[in-house]
Structure 1
Amino acid sequence: MAQTQADPIVSELKARALALGFDAFGITRADARPDLPEKLATALAEGWHADMDWMAETEERRGDPLKLWGEARTAILLGVNYGPADNPMTLLDEPRVGIISAYARNRDYHDIIKGRLKELAGLLARRAGADVKVFVDTAPLMEKPLAEAAGLGWQGKHSVLVSRDFGSWLFLGAILTSADLPVDIPHQESCGSCTRCLDICPTNAFPAPFQLDARKCLAYYSVEHKGQIPRQFRRPMANRIYGCDDCLAVCPWNKFASVSREAKLRSRPELERPSLSDLVRLDDAGFRALFSGSPVKRIGHARFIRNVLIGIGNSGDLTLVPAVLDRLDSADPLIRGSAVWALRRLDPDRAEAMRLDRQARESDRTVQDEWMGEV
């Protein structure tokens, strides 16, 4: 944890944070990053937020914690290590396995962290007689630059926080408080000349170091995007069915995380290497049961099966064709359209034989287009 100046309240908070399962703790001024409004405005002007309109709608509050809560004086930033036991990129060599991002293989981190933050914030309120508010990343608070200011690490060239102790594998949460507390010294950015995270990106989603364009990001398309995956990103998705860990997994600082304390958040075994064959057959109830308490559940059944079908189309496995054919009759056009693409990739002759009849019976224009577009 960061080295905060000696203070009895802070010492008690740090000890309690450790007991609650937090691995990183740091304090900064709520107004420590006056550069944020300009950085955010630039990103929005460039369109790097894609169709995440909520970022633009909350721009004023997102760029300045004091606009979010005017009484805030101090920000306490906390991190939980979720480093995976194995390199998730090794699963790219197993095309019948669906890759779920490491952060989503356990309970929803929002639920895990928020309860702990509330308990810690309650302790602070009692000890300091101060007001407190807790934030996880669903709130319009830019926690990564604040965590950098609080000494938890630095934002790497992939835009994710990098820690000397935990590499690129930290969940972040924040407590804003009206109390004045001693602050930590920020870490210097320590990426040096390394560009591994930029070079590994399969879709060139980084316009420049420290900048991410969601319009080219596989994590964005598999998690946030509501429509069909744009054709140019389907083959690069390979068997990534929820998120993309490539830029995190190659970070050299992860090797230091491997000798740190064991991650308290371990993935559920059934989500470590699930079979695409099993996943594509999930109905809505089965999907909800499998991903109960997981962030994957938030994208809904149709978008998840969309992603699975893209993975199947990239698998080259003809034994999966019957499962794809079953999905051609789905009531949801998002699933039907992805099934068309998967079939045309796996068995183009069969797809061509079916095309005219299927097009004539298809009511959705986007699905009609899938029978004719490039694969």
Structure 2
Amino acid sequence: MVEDRARKLGFDTFAVTRPDSVPGLPDRLARWLVDGHHGDMAWMGDRADQRAAPSALWDDVRSIVMLGLNAAPDQDPLDNLARKDRGTIASYAQRRDYHEVIKGKLKEIGGLLSARSGRPAKVFVDTAPVMEKPLAAAAGLGWQGKHTVLISREFGNWMLLGAIYSAAELEPDAPGRDSCGTCRRCLDICPTGAFPEPYRLDARRCISYLTIEHAGPIPHEFREAIGNRIFGCDDCLAVCPWNKFAERAGEAKMAVRADLASPSLAELARLDDAAFRAFFAGTPVKRTGRDRFLRNVLIAIGNSGDPALAEEAARCLDDPAPVVRGAAVWACGQLLDDDRVGALRAMHAPIERDATVREEWHALNPCPSSAKGREPGAVTSRL
């Protein structure tokens, strides 16, 4: 059976739904886009018709097979947030890029489906305008929780999803049933208030969006709340009570890399482009690019409260990338006393050509209040 082969390939769930199984999806998506909750992700609106209706993406689709691969972490993702000199990377990104792991498996399953039915199939894993979560809920893999992520009774909210569009008429499974009840732990823990109401996410306030999708300077109002999260955020996922049933991921290719579980901020701040690409090769982190990632690292350094890390921030004031220099200015302002910040300003601000970085220097005027009262003695070589 196709489902048996899917499980042997490492998939934990397998279910079928129809392309018209989520009739309210067009209105939900349209409202989200009109409200601007997609932020800079213009691609969400570019092919909105295909996202909202699978048949608009492929008019031959008659059935959709949704598969899930459990990626539950082997420890509490929130534990590392207290280690201020270390970076916190979202659990899924501490592993090999799931796109690479899942796509080949999906192609094999899609081939088996085509061979059995005599009808073509197409596979997708977060690489096309496919709304995997509502389709997975319609197929019965779980339900979309108040944090909008799919929740499974068996695996909590840690499943990675893949979709196979088939031209064959397959028997659909029963849809999932919302079992969140009155729980709102995922909403209450969000550091930036990214949920305007249950079941709605404003990506512009989400740390995952800000540290991964957002390309420019991170807005000041969110910087302290980001803490040491340098790629993504697991807070709303980690507190879901349904996770108590989840076992750690069984797929060997999805094992956590030990060096990504709690990496040193000081070491990360020294990565040039080549070193960044080498260190994060094969992981989801690589796609952000070195400059955006170092921006995140410097925000975390600024939040560390550790003056010893100010040397790393000061060194980045000469970085070629404006988004890195701007974050370095903020970090220095958070960690250094007024005299030292003034000396750095005198050295760098007059020759700064980028408007966004000049704004960062101006924001420190007359002095960074958060640095008042700090003991001197952190950075000497640069001042």
In the alignment, structure 1 residue 188 sits paired with structure 2 residue 177: yes
User: Displacement, 1:251?
Assistant: 0.3
Equivalences for residues 179-328 of structure 1 within 5 A: 179-258=168-247, 262=250, 264=252, 265-328=254-317
Amino acid aligned to 2:28? K
Q: Is the 8 A contact 2:97 2:283 kept in 1?
A: yes
Q: Contact 1:83/1:263 (CA < 8 Å) preserved in 2?
A: no
Residue 114 (structure 1) aligned with residue 103 (structure 2): yes
> Matched residues in 2 for 1:131 and 1:314: separation?
52
Amino acid at match of 1:329: D
Instruction: State the distance in 2 between where 1:74 and 1:262 align.
Output: 28
**Quick one: distance in 2 between partners of 1:170 and 1:102?**
12
Per the alignment, residue 5 of structure 1 pairs with none
1:353 aligns with 2:353: no
For the residues of structure 2 that align with 1:342 and 1:67, how far apart are their CA atoms? 47
The 3-state SS of whatever aligns with 1:372 is: helix
State the alpha-carbon separation in 2 of the partners of residues 261 and 291 from structure 1. 21
Structure 2 CA distance for partners of 1:97 and 1:261, relative to 1, 3 Å: closer
- Corresponding residue for 1:335? 324
Structure 2 CA distance for aligned equivalents of residues 357 and 328 of structure 1: 10
Between the aligned partners of 1:323 and 1:183, the Cα distance in structure 2 is: 56
**Amino acid in the other structure paired with 1:305:** L
Q: Deviations over 1:72-96 (max 9, x none)?
A: 0000000011111011111111111
| Deviation at residue 261 of structure 1 after TM alignment | 7.0
Gaps of 5+ in 1: 1-11
- CA distance in 1 between partners of 2:219 and 2:157 (Å): 28
| C-alpha distance after superposition, 1:212-236 (max 9, x if no partner) | 0011111100000000111111100
Q: State the alpha-carbon separation in 1 of the partners of residues 186 and 289 from structure 2.
A: 29
Aligned: 1:373 with 2:363: yes
1:172-198 C-alpha deviation (Å, 9 max, x unpaired): 000000101111111210000000000
Confirm or deny: 8 A CA contact 1:84 1:266 kept in the other structure.
Answer: no
Q: Give 3-state SS (helix, strand or coil) of 1:253's partner.
A: helix
Structure 2 residue runs of 5 or longer lacking an equivalent are 369-383
What is the DSSP-based 3-state SS (H/G/I as helix, E as strand, rest coil) of the residue aligned with 1:88?
Answer: coil
Counterpart Cα distance in 1 of 2:23 and 2:181: 24
Measured against aligned partners, the alpha-carbon deviations of 1:73-132 in whole angstroms (never above 9, x if no partner) come to: 000000011111011111111111100000101111111111110011001111110110
Decide which of 33, 37, 50 is 1:44's aligned counterpart.
33
Does the CA contact (< 8 Å) of 2:64 and 2:166 recur in 1? Answer: yes
CA distance in structure 2 between the partners assigned to 1:352 and 1:78 by the alignment: 56
| 1:248-302 alpha-carbon deviations (Å, 9 max, x no partner) | 00000000113x7746522111111111011111111111011001110000000
- 1:74-89 aligned within 5 A: 74-89=63-78
Q: Check conservation: 2:96, 2:282, Cα contact below 8 A.
A: yes
How many residue pairs end up in the alignment? 363
Consecutive aligned runs of 4 or more in structure 1 exceeding 3 Å deviation: 260-264
Corresponding residue of 2:377: none
Equivalent-residue separation in structure 1 for 2:283 and 2:167 (angstroms) = 33
SS of 1:33's equivalent in the other structure is coil
Which residue among 150, 163, 169 is the counterpart of 2:152? 163
Do structure 1's residue 177 and structure 2's residue 177 form an aligned pair? no
1:13 aligns with 2:14: no
Q: Which amino acid aligns with 1:147?
A: A
Amino acid at match of 1:125: S
Residue 58 of structure 1 corresponds to which residue in structure 2? Answer: 47
Aligned Cα root-mean-square deviation (Å): 1.2
- Offset of 1:138 from its aligned partner? 2.1
> Quick check: 1:127 aligned with 2:116?
yes
1:171 & 1:139 partners in 2: Cα distance? 15
SS at match of 1:371: helix
Deviation at 1:321, TM superposition (A): 1.6
d(CA) in 1 for partners of 2:89, 2:4 = 33
Q: Does 1:95 align with 2:84?
A: yes
Task: Measure the CA separation in 2 of the matches of 1:187 and 1:161.
Answer: 10
Q: Work out the CA distance in 2 between the residues paired with 1:66 and 1:166.
A: 30
Secondary structure in structure 1 of the residue aligned to 2:78? helix
Q: Is the Cα contact below 8 Å between 1:31 and 1:73 reproduced in 2?
A: no
Partners in 1 of 2:259 and 2:273 — Cα distance? 18
- CA deviations 1:306-360 (Å, max 9, x no partner) are 0000000000111112211111111111111111111110103211222134211
Aligned mates of 2:263, 2:249 — CA distance in 1: 27
Kept in 1, the 8 Å contact 2:10–2:251? The answer is no
Q: How many angstroms apart in 2 are the aligned matches of 1:304 and 1:118?
A: 32
SS in 1 for 2:241: coil
TM-score of the superposed pair, with normalisation by structure 1: 0.95
